[in-house]
Amino acid sequence: MDLALSEEQTLVVDNVRRFVREEIEPLEASLDPDADELPADDYRRLVDKTRAMGLYGLDIPVAYGGPDIDLVTRTLIAIETAQHRAGLYAPCYGVFGGAGLAQLFEATEAQKERYLFPMLRGEKKGFFGLTEPSGGSDPARAIQTRAVRDGDDWVINGGKIFISGADRADFGLVFARTDPERGRAGVTCFIVDTDMPGFHVRRVVHTLRAARYATELGFEDLRVPHANVLGEVGGGFAIANDRLSRQRIPYAAGCIGVAIKAHEMALAYVPQRETFGAPLSSRQAIQWMLVDNEIDIRNARWLTLEAAHRAERGEDFRKEAAMAKLVATEAGSRVVDRCIQMFGGYGVTKDLPLERWYREMRIRRIGEGPSEVQRHIIARDLLGASLR
């Protein structure tokens, strides 16, 4: 893998970095420290700018109006777009756009007309409904929501939890068990409109992170047309698994971006802060924290770019994506924690973004599969059939 950026990649990265520094960071100075949205006028203005830059809708295929940007370059961009206060859960506040539910690119033409195209135009919002109260780390076995065929419809009963944005969505992908005897092959994905009778947002689930929250959903005799099955009956787990594997790469990249920004802040601060007549940067304890930061960041960056390279070449990348997600989330957490320590009391105030990153990085070690699941995926690849 060549670590050197091409001339085009360098130009793109520089443009995105300048955009974050000149357009996003100044706006954040006037926002609530936990904000995850921009004022409407600023949002529209910045969307126009990213469109003019040719960088709107980065993960949208060219056939659907997206830019022709490879996955490695998109990963480099994701590292840059995370380098601001709200960088983990609102990368540049959505002004770079995105596909959202990429599974819909494989939908039928009728489904694309009703859901995908309006979503790409910003007319509809969707959610991804996989995790259940019975557990999220092993979705193939934990899914207890049932869907039973009734003529041309499916009747769904059950519930989901920790679902982001469902209370503000127009539709969502809901995974339900259609055959209780077939394990992974018994899970099907349904496109569900949130105004269908039987769909309920039971409650908002407030989590450790601040502005963003999750929801708990309930389905009571929710009747969904067979035409709203996404893919094949029994093919839902494959749809979910592909999404989870691919999402781990930008997920890791965001953690790297935050770690880089926190590290830069510490590097600028410690030479200026004096203790006992000498700058903090002269203390070996501080120097070693900075060294450990640098090593953590470089390790995470290498693994994440390797996963992106393999995925871009069409090779199996599941192990590499798991390694990237595992290392980037854990290393990023360590970097932010060290930087808070170097800033002392200021590090835990809302004057700085460190305390927000600290909370949000903790979530990242669970989301998209916790660290323990990533280790299991890697071990399964290493040991193969000998792992039970």
Rounded Cα distance, 55 and 68, in Å: 9
Closest residue by Cα to residue 165 from 251, 100, 248, 242: 100
Place of tokens 């899914």: 143
For tokens 């995908």, name the residue: 116
By the 8 A CB rule, do 322 and 380 touch? no
Distance CA 374, CA 300 (A): 14
Please name every residue paired with 132 in a beta bridge, in sequence order, or none if there are none.
135
**26: which residues sit within 8 A by CB, 6+ positions away?**
none
Widest CA span in the chain? 81
Q: At what angle do helices 354-364 and 318-343 cross, to 10 degrees?
A: 150
> Is residue 100 within 8 Å of 126, Cβ to Cβ?
yes
Reply yes or no on whether 8 is catalytic: no
Which one of 80, 306, 330, 368 is the catalytic residue? Answer: 368
Angle among Cα 46, 50, 53 to the nearest 5 degrees reads 140
Q: Please provide residue 177's backbone torsions phi and psi, each rounded to the nearest 5 degrees.
A: -85, 120
- DSSP, collapsed to helix, strand or coil, labels residue 59 as coil
Spatial distance between the Cα atoms of 217 and 166, rounded to a whole number of angstroms: 8
Helical (H) or strand (E) element with 205 = strand 199-205
Is 279 within 8 Å of 271 (Cβ atoms)? yes
Phi and psi dihedrals of 250, rounded to 5? -65, -30
What sign results for the dihedral spanned by CA atoms 270, 356, 16, 309? positive
Q: What angle do CA 203, 204, 210 make, to 5 degrees?
A: 170
Q: In one letter, which amino acid is 213? A: Y
Catalytic residues: 368
